[in-house]
Structure 1
Amino acid sequence: MKAIAKAPIAILEALRDFMRIEAAGGILLMGAAVAAMIVANTPFADGYFAAKASYIGPLTLSYWINDGLMALFFLLVGLEIKREFLEGQLSTPTARILPALAAGAGVAVPAIVFVMIAGGDPALVRGWAIPAATDIAFALGVLALLGSRAPASLKILLTAIAVIDDLVAVLIIALFYTAELALVPLGLAFAGIAVLILCNRAGVRHLGIYGIVGLAIWAAVLASGVHATLAGVAVALTIPLKPKPVHKAATQTPSATADESGGHSPLHRLEHGLHPWIAFGIIPLFGFFNAGVALGGMSGDALVSPLPLGIALGLLIGKQVGIFGAIFAAVRGGLSPMPEGAGWSHIVGLAFLCGIGFTMSLFIGGLAFDDPALQDLVRVGVLGGSIIAGLAGFAILFFAGRNEAKEPA
């Protein structure tokens, strides 16, 4: 019984660890983005762009990062989605209402704003999903800078919105940014996933087996035409959340207590092992090699052309209208209570922070457009919109009254 009672505590501790690592990683990601923009506009620019295009074996450095290392990022995303829905902040229907409504509106409205601005050019319509994403690391990094000025409930809500947002982004990539399919490799990938599901059902808890089969699945997905990073999400959903069963005679031991609380389950072990490497290594590396854009050759008209403008306003206006509007309607309509300790100014600040697209927005932008010139405009729109949204969210939350009424006036 003690082990069962300690389960919620273990989950809360895992959430705090998650937020702490994400926040620190988000601050590091900010530095990587700034460094990329500086390098791309200095005499080091030629070396920077040459490094991105250099080959390491059969693939370029950019390809290894975007299709290889980012598969590990999506593996972590999949683990977080599974954990949150099964035992975390999204494990009950009631807890899902507010973040689900906010995330849904936060995806739909920015896409509508983008199409209204850039949809007149059929060549640009493929970018509709770029402003739909939220960068949880960047957003939590900004919240970390605010300290106690941001209520804990706001951090939890932001995390929940971002998790659902990531799930929607994964579905968007799978459905709308998939090239022509090669059926044989795709069939092999599904066969590999079936093997891992059987391993899960059979009680296999050795992560090495999941890793070996998962690598084969990644290679098959890479050859199939589906974006290889989706292999990470598929593999994550097969990782066992329950720990290895323990004998009744051993249930009073400390290790058994840890197992029953879920702390030693394969999913928790993999998530905790991957998280620092992703937050402090892969994501900043992705940011550094994807955020750099040479501004010297761009005209003022290009900077405010429909593509970057649609992305920036989608992140700024679309996210604000969608997320704030959904939360306002849900609270006023009695569907969900206001987050504890938060007032409407906090919700406005939260909505702006959700307008920080960055990692996922840049990733989708790379899938949407092959033209390097268009990719540069995507970077301008994502960086511009994300920076303004982040600064606005920080300023609003910084000056928000900490004793603001919990319920709407």
Structure 2
Amino acid sequence: MATPPTERRRQFLGLLPLPERRFITEALRTETVGGVLLLLAAVVALIWANVWPHAYETVSAYTVGPSSPLHLDLSLEAWANDGLLTIFFFVAGIELKREFVAGELRTPRAALLPVAAAACGVAMPAIVYAVTNSGAGGHPGGWAIPTATDIAFALGVLAVVGSHLPSPLRAFLLTLAVVDDLIAILIIAIFYSSGIKFWALGGALAGLVLFWFLHRRGVHGWYLFVPLAFVIWALMHESGVHATVAGVAMGLMLRCHTEGEEEQSPGEHIEHLVRPLSAGFAVPVFALFAAGVTISGPALREVFTQATPLGIVLGLLVGKTVGVFCGTWLTARFTRAELNPQLRWADLFAVSTLAGIGFTVSLLISELAFPESEALADKAKAAVLVGSVLCALVATVLLKLRNRHYRQLCEDEDRDSDGDGIPDVYQQIR
């Protein structure tokens, strides 16, 4: 019997069946899928901005929202930058809190290497950029653009390439990226906030206190916390402090340790629910509006011939690699911190190159660093794209070599050519 048209329409427009919904949400929680969606959104943005530039600019500039009592009449691009990316930073805040209470950052000795690597990985790209832009035609205000590491892209590349790499390598990269995000948030809050309205900032802080109090009292219900979170975000946006700071502040306030008979902390539970929204919608839509820059022969030539974009490319490719690797090596050499025994310095060098993938946060800082020059901001974005792609390519080659090395070790350990039940690797005469 044929399905009635109304039933077919309801099935098409309605929610997916529960098994499919679970499959999609679980897929969006993996770094590989999130990185692929981010990459696809960037490719769509580049095609759209270069093939139909007028349509791209019109949609990006389309204004939505009320102008009073708070100034929320924002363009779609601004909603993506200030609004959707707050969800990304909210998840980053939860990850950071979890690292502090249960991860690599819970003990100073374990945290020392990734924290030093992140700090040097922020300082060195800024120095490289500053040196490159120290001449007459430079723009030193963009020093923070190459300092960020994109968690989704970096972990996505590592997940695709590193099938046999040691698991501590992923933990090191995750901790490095989380600390890197914290430093980036502090940079945004301190250096890219202007015209502070203290009444709005005070209201946002009062909202955060209420958010913390309700959470600690065990109050539940998205219908209460989501409106409160929006009010906090709107007040933070009105205050002049970048609105994404509200996201990471709320993430840090969540409890990320278990109590009593809990199998999962509230922070981990909320992150589990929100991560698909961040990876599947918020970050890709941000990339759609942020990565739309004109790519042409002259534009690419400018990336390697003008001080500002060249400083960004060198900061990501050279500054990040040197900063992360040397910061880790010097810390291990002159302190009591030790590299995980399962890792080798060649592994760390490959991951250091991978940390140069800036993308999401670097694109955001490109907007903030040059608010009065759209042309310069576009050049900075093009440089971020070029630098991130170069880092991804170089890191892929290095990680493949390391992956081949570890795969060969696994094969050698499993090989039993004489059939005596003892792997050959244990019968070799040393």
TM (norm. structure 2) is: 0.81
- How far did residue 355 of structure 1 move? 0.3
Deviations 1:154-210 (A, max 9, x none): 111000000000010111111100011111111111111222233344343445433
Secondary structure at 2:253 match in 1: coil
Q: Does the aligned pair in 1 maintain the 2:29–2:275 contact within 8 Å?
A: no
The AA in structure 2 aligned to 1:52 is S
Indicate whether 1:210 and 2:212 are aligned.
no
The answer for the alignment partner of 1:402 in structure 2 is 406
Which residue in the other structure is 2:389 paired with?
Answer: 387
CA distance in 2, matches of 1:355, 1:164: 14
Say if 2:246 is the partner of 1:231: yes
Alignment partner of 1:41: what SS?
helix
Unmatched 5+ stretches in structure 1 = 1-16, 247-255
Assess if the C-alpha contact under 8 Å between 2:233 and 2:246 holds in 1: yes
User: What is the SS of the residue equivalent to 1:402?
Assistant: helix
Q: Is the 8 A contact 2:41 2:287 kept in 1?
A: yes
Larger Rg: 2
Cα deviations by residue, 1:310-335 (Å, 9 ceiling, x for unpaired)? 00000011011111111222333453
Aligned to 1:377: 379
Residue in 2 that maps onto 1:48: 56
Look up the equivalent residue of 2:211 and give its one-letter code: L
Cα 1:164–1:288, aligned 2, differ >3 Å: closer, same or farther? Answer: same
Q: Does 1:95 align with 2:110?
A: yes
Instruction: Write the distance in 2 (CA, Å) between the matches of 1:238 and 1:284.
Output: 26
Shift of 1:33: 1.6
Question: Is residue 27–residue 33 contact of structure 2 (8 Å, CA) maintained in 1?
Answer: no
Gaps of 5+ in 2: 1-25, 66-72, 410-430
Which whole-Å CA distance do the structure 2 matches of 1:209 and 1:86 have between them?
Answer: 26
Aligned to 1:349: 350
Q: Is this contact kept in 1: 2:164–2:407, CA < 8 A?
A: no
- What do residues 30-87 of structure 1 show as CA deviations (whole Å, max 9, x unaligned)? 2222222222222x23212221111223221101111111111111111111111111
| 1:104 aligned residue | 119
State the alpha-carbon separation in 2 of the partners of residues 119 and 191 from structure 1: 42
The answer to whether the Cα contact below 8 Å between 2:101 and 2:257 also exists between their aligned partners in 1 is no
Who is 1:181 aligned against?
Answer: 196
2:38 aligned with 1:39: no
Q: How does 1:6-405 map to 2 (within 5 A)?
A: 21-42=30-51, 44-57=52-65, 58-120=73-135, 124-242=139-257, 256=261, 259=262, 261=263, 263=264, 265-296=265-296, 298-299=298-299, 302-304=302-304, 305-333=306-334, 335-370=336-371, 371-400=373-402, 401-402=405-406
What is the identity, as a one-letter code, of the residue corresponding to 2:367? G
Q: Which deviates the most, 133-142 or 338-347?
A: 338-347
Letter in 2 for 1:303: V
Q: Deviations over 1:270-312 (max 9, x none)?
A: 1111101111211111112211211248456532211110000
The one-letter amino acid paired with 2:227 is: I
| Cα distance between partner residues in 2 of 1:396 and 1:41 | 32
1:205 and 1:266 in contact (8 A); partners too = no
Q: Secondary structure at the match of 1:397?
A: helix
8 Å Cα contact 2:162-2:399 kept in structure 1: no
Within 2, Cα distance between the matches of 1:122 and 1:196? 47
Of the structure 1 ranges 202-211 and 190-199, higher mean CA displacement relative to structure 2 is found in 202-211
Over aligned residues, Cα RMSD in angstroms? 2.3
Corresponding position of 1:10: none
Name the stretch that deviates more: 286-295 or 349-358: 286-295
Q: Secondary structure at the match of 1:90?
A: helix
TM-score normalized by the length of structure 1: 0.85
* Whole-Å separation in 2 of the counterparts to 1:347 and 1:242: 30
| 8 A contact 1:319–1:351 mirrored in 2 | yes
| Aligned residue type for 1:377 | K
Give the number of equivalent residue pairs: 373
Q: Which residue matches 1:253? A: none
- Assess if the C-alpha contact under 8 Å between 1:27 and 1:142 holds in 2: no
* Deviation larger for 130-139 or 201-210: 201-210
Cα distance in 2, alignment partners of residues 367 and 331 from structure 1 = 36
**Conserved 8 A contact 1:210-1:239:** no
